[in-house]
Amino acid sequence: MLSLQSPRVLRLADAASVATAAITRIAARVSERPNCVLGLATGRTPLAVYDGLAQCVADGRLSFAGVETFNLDEYLDLPAGHPSSFRAYMAERFFRRVDIDPAKTHVPSGEGRPGDGDRYEAAIRSAGGIDLQMLGIGQNGHIGFNEPGTSFDSRTHVVTLTQATRDANTADFPNGERPPPRALTMGIATILEAREIILLATGTHKADALARAFGASPDTSCPAAALRFHPRVTVICDEEAAPKGSVLANHR
């Protein structure tokens, strides 16, 4: 029987402080265990985290040479090498800027072949599972591309993206192009198997999602609420994202 846990909360002044806290946590885990397995996220929130980690490597303070990574999700139905794919995002923002072995960087396949989800799960298992998973949160409460209504038992699977998510991500696509309607995402149960999770949220537009995730009764209408069943979650948010009057607003 799963029991409700209380997340640790780092409520910080601004987005820059959120990035610094995430960089510190990831760098600590990589330093402690140079061959650790990281779960990575795309989106706007982690950009400063990747900049900071790349700087640590450039300064000779950190190495990703032994690290293996698994990203949360990828669009389906994009032409190979599309600049808005999450594989392209990760290459440009992080993988090419650090000393990681490209063979150890995993992003779900966007090719839509039968069995791709199962193969991704098997690859995570054979790497020994994810030590530290970084997550963002969608305005609708999604984690990865697990949209509202997704079962907390879900494994890596194909999803149909909501209009809201496609609208939110349109800015990442070249002029006039829309994000594709489908993606392959780690499931919620897959995410919950990570040994440690950090959830990053910045800006007033994330406050409602955090309020629903960490409000009274977790249910599938807010996928991030599943994190309340995980024993080792740290919410790292700024003042703007911390919902007023919620459990998160009481932490500093």
Mention every residue, 6+ apart, whose C-beta is less than 8 A from residue 138.
Answer: 147, 164, 165, 168, 209
Regarding 223 and contact with ligand PGA (CB under 6 A), the answer is no
Tokens of 172: 């990442």
What is the torsion angle, in degrees rounded to the nearest 10, for the CA atoms of residue 11, residue 16, residue 18 and residue 23? -150
Closer residue to ligand PGA (CB): 62 or 134: 134
Taking CB under 6 A as the criterion, the residue among 108, 110, 138, 180 binding ligand PGA is 138
Regarding 134 and contact with ligand PGA (CB under 6 A), the answer is no
Regarding 43 and contact with ligand PGA (CB under 6 A), the answer is yes
Regarding 137 and contact with ligand PGA (CB under 6 A), the answer is yes
Taking CB under 6 A as the criterion, the residue among 52, 136, 180, 187 binding ligand PGA is 136
Q: Is 219 a catalytic residue?
A: no
- The DSSP string of 68-96 is EEEESEEESSPPTT-TTSHHHHHHHHTGG
Regarding 39 and contact with ligand PGA (CB under 6 A), the answer is no
Q: Is 106 a catalytic residue?
A: no
CB atoms within 10 A of CB 65: 13
Closer residue to ligand PGA (CB): 204 or 250: 204
Regarding 45 and contact with ligand PGA (CB under 6 A), the answer is yes
The CA distance from 71 to 135, in Å, is: 10
Regarding 187 and contact with ligand PGA (CB under 6 A), the answer is no
Nearest to 73 by CA among 188, 185, 190, 193: 185
Regarding 251 and contact with ligand PGA (CB under 6 A), the answer is no
Per the DSSP assignment, residues forming a β-bridge with 134 are 198
The CA distance from 142 to 166, in Å, is: 12
Residue number of the CB closest to ligand PGA reads 43
Strand bridging mode 233-238 / 196-201: parallel
Closer residue to ligand PGA (CB): 35 or 204: 204
Helices 15-32 and 47-58 sit at what angle, rounded to 10 degrees? Answer: 50
Regarding 182 and contact with ligand PGA (CB under 6 A), the answer is no
Q: Min. distance of Cβ 97 from ligand PGA in angstroms?
A: 19
From 4-12, 18-26, 49-57, 133-141, span contacting ligand PGA (CB under 6 A): 133-141
Q: Min. distance of Cβ 136 from ligand PGA in angstroms?
A: 3
Regarding 44 and contact with ligand PGA (CB under 6 A), the answer is yes
Q: Which DSSP symbol is given to 39?
A: E
Q: Which residues are catalytic?
A: 73, 140, 142, 147
- Site of interaction with ligand PGA (CB under 6 A): 43-45, 136-138
